[in-house]
């Protein structure tokens, strides 16, 4: 590949340069010496390769430059690429020259044994570690897969605003900010309402960007700032919506399997579990799920007025919590879509099932291996009066939603969409045990630094 901007040989494609002398620009990941040998593990952002310097082969200056290197010193190393059986990457560099840019002193992160607090405080440096590096590369592949999937299926990207005048869903808490003389503005918690307007203009659209929730959630599945992709399709019903969600998730997983085997190996991911993620996924109605829970004795902890907890059968009408979702998913080796939730636990914009008005045409996709909910979606309410009724029922401002109601006045059509949480998806695919590891700089209830 040739380009006008600067490019150089990268570790990633060193095997194309066997026998040649190349210069790598990077940082020292690790260094050990053994007598007249100096072993330097060099990382250049694309990968890591071991460089071997045999002192008698180079000048004293070069040898002492190599010996002076410390962890994370910046350095350019020139040498001959050689096939090497003993190397995990299959190649090594026989060093002929070393140019030191900076000697790093007291780099805080050593190759092992650190606590979470320490690593989070050094997130800006932690990203250099092999595991974090692998996760970030997978994240990048997942984003590309998502965009390729939609771009290749007739969707148009329609960005939605981050400043919004009101809540999309009354339930969640919003981050508030002063917006000049126009009063309060909020950071968006979903681009969906704008995606609906966009779908009426362009047919099939998706919005992809950061969203914000001021929920005081402190779990390994929550961030206050996270990325969400939200497709919205005119003339789609709930079944079409579920079909699309399946196709998307299958595509993402298969893309990662294809393009990131090295990263998955670094992460120790069991790829056979990902290979199993093929359509069709499982599907189950909420009502069937409740029946399953009660048949399998999965109880609900309920607090009584005196403060004690008792275990009760799961009542129809209650939303599932993490324990119920986990129990349900234990039987499945690939994602499961649960659909037709009780209207009362779902958002006002979701259409009621004409066959049973107690349930909404909503669906959630749960990922296996304890990963939990990665998608939430629905067919939208397309009837003006029904939607207005729900807005008033939820005590939302009719005026704030006037533009949204307009969509039901001027050529309303059945339409549906969903939101896929990027970080939850990457967490599942990489097998990361906490969502904070799958976004470069996580924002959580008790952490905003670095």
List the interface residues with RNA, window 64-123 (CB under 7 A). Answer: 70-71, 84, 86-88, 92, 106, 108, 110-118, 120
Reading the block at residue 361, the tokens are: 């045409």
Would you give the DSSP letter of residue 441?
S
Q: Is 150 left (phi over 0), alpha (psi -120 to 50) or beta?
A: alpha
Among 319, 333, 356, 385, binds RNA (CB under 7 A): 319
Binding segment for RNA (CB under 7 A), chosen from 179-187, 215-223, 285-293, 394-402, is 215-223
Residue 268 interacts with RNA (CB under 7 A)?
A: no
Name the residue nearer to RNA (CB basis): 96 or 259: 96
According to CB under 7 A, which one of 124, 216, 258, 302 is a site residue for RNA? 216
Site string for RNA, 394-433 (x = CB under 7 A): -------------------------xxx-xx---------
63: contact with RNA by CB under 7 A: no
Smaller CB distance to RNA: residue 282 or 384?
282
265 is an interface residue for RNA by CB under 7 A: no
Across the chain, which distance is largest between two alpha carbons, in Å? 86
Please name the residue that has the structure tokens 């989070």.
120
Site for RNA in 160-189 (CB under 7 A): 169, 171-172
Least separation in angstroms between residue 322's CB and RNA is 4
**One residue of 72, 364, 381, 382 binding RNA per CB under 7 A:** 364
Q: Which of 20, 217, 311, 397 binds RNA (CB under 7 A)?
A: 217
Cβ distance to RNA smaller for residue 169 or 384:
169
Phi, psi of 142 (to 5 degrees): -65, -45
Is residue 316 close enough to count as binding RNA by CB under 7 A? no
Is 50 an interacting residue with respect to RNA (CB under 7 A)? yes
Is residue 381 close enough to count as binding RNA by CB under 7 A? no
Is residue 49 a contact point for RNA (CB under 7 A)? no
Q: Give the residue, chosen from 280, 315, 317, 321, that forms a contact with RNA under the rule CB under 7 A.
A: 321
**What is the phi/psi pair of residue 67, to 5°?**
-70, -25
Strand partners, 212: 225
Number of residues interacting with RNA: please give it, by CB under 7 A: 71
Among 220, 258, 278, 279, binds RNA (CB under 7 A): 220
Instruction: List the one residue from 30, 237, 243, 394 that touches RNA (CB under 7 A).
Output: 30
Beta-ladder partners of 97: 78
Name the residue nearer to RNA (CB basis): 112 or 409: 112
Query: Rounded distance, CA 383 to CA 385, Å?
Result: 6
Does residue 152 interact with RNA by CB under 7 A? no
Segment contacting RNA by CB under 7 A, of 244-252, 256-264, 319-327, 400-408: 319-327
Pick 221 or 384: Cβ nearer RNA: 221
Closest distance between RNA and the C-beta of residue 23, in Å? 20
Asked if residue 250 binds RNA (CB under 7 A), the reply is no
124 part of the interface to RNA, by CB under 7 A: no
Which two three-digit tokens encode residue 296? 């399998």
Under a CB-based contact definition with an 8 Å cutoff, are residues 83 and 20 in contact? Answer: no
Q: Which is nearer to RNA, 5 or 446 (CB)?
A: 446
20 binds RNA (CB under 7 A): no
- Stretch of 147-155, 200-208, 252-260, 370-378 lying at the interface with RNA (CB under 7 A): 370-378
Q: Is residue 435 within the footprint of RNA (CB under 7 A)?
A: yes
Q: How far is 15 from 279, CA to CA, in rounded Å?
A: 36
């Amino acid at each position: 590949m040739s380009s006008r901007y600067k490019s150089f040989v990268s570790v990633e494609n060193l095997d194309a340069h066997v026998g040649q002398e190349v210069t790598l620009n990077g940082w020292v990941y690790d260094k050990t010496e053994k007598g007249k040998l100096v072993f330097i593990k060099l990382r250049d952002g694309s990968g890591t390769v071991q460089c071997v310097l045999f002192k008698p082969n180079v000048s004293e200056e070069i040898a002492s430059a190599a010996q002076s290197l410390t962890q994370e010193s910046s350095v350019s190393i020139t040498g001959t690429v050689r096939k090497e059986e003993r190397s995990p990457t299959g190649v090594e560099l026989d060093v002929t020259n070393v140019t030191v840019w900076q000697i790093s002193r007291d780099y805080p992160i050593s190759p092992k044994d650190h606590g979470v607090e320490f690593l989070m405080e050094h997130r800006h440096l932690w990203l250099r570690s092999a595991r974090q590096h692998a996760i970030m590369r997978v994240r990048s592949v997942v984003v590309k897969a998502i965009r390729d999937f939609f771009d290749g299926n007739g969707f148009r990207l329609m960005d939605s605003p981050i400043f919004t005048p009101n809540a999309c869903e009354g339930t969640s808490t919003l981050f508030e900010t002063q917006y000049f003389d126009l009063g309060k503005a909020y950071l968006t918690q979903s681009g969906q309402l704008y995606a609906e307007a966009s779908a009426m203009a362009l047919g099939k659209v998706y919005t992809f960007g950061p969203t914000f929730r001021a929920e005081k959630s402190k779990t390994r599945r929550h961030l206050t700032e996270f990325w969400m992709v939200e497709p919205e399709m005119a003339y789609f019903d709930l079944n079409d919506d579920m079909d699309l969600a399946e196709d998307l998730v299958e595509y993402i997983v298969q893309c990662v399997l294809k393009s990131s085997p090295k990263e998955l190996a670094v992460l120790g991911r069991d790829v056979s579990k990902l290979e199993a993620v093929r359509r069709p996924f499982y599907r189950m109605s909420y009502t069937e799920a409740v029946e399953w829970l009660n048949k399998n004795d999965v109880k609900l902890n309920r607090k009584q007025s005196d403060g004690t907890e008792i275990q009760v059968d799961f009542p129809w009408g209650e939303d599932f919590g993490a324990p119920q979702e986990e129990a349900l998913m234990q039987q499945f080796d690939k994602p499961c879509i649960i659909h037709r939730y009780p209207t009362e636990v779902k958002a006002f914009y979701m259409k009621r099932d004409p066959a049973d008005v107690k349930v909404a045409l909503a669906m959630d996709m749960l990922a296996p291996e304890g990963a939990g909910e990665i998608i939430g979606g629905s067919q939208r309410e397309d009837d003006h009066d029904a939607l207005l009724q729900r807005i008033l029922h939820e005590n939302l401002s009719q005026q704030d939603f006037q533009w949204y109601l307009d969509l039901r006045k001027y050529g309303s059509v059945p339409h549906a969409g969903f939101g896929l949480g990027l970080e939850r998806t990457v967490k599942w695919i990489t097998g990361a045990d906490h969502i904070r590891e799958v976004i470069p700089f996580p924002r959580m209830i008790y952490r905003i630094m670095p």
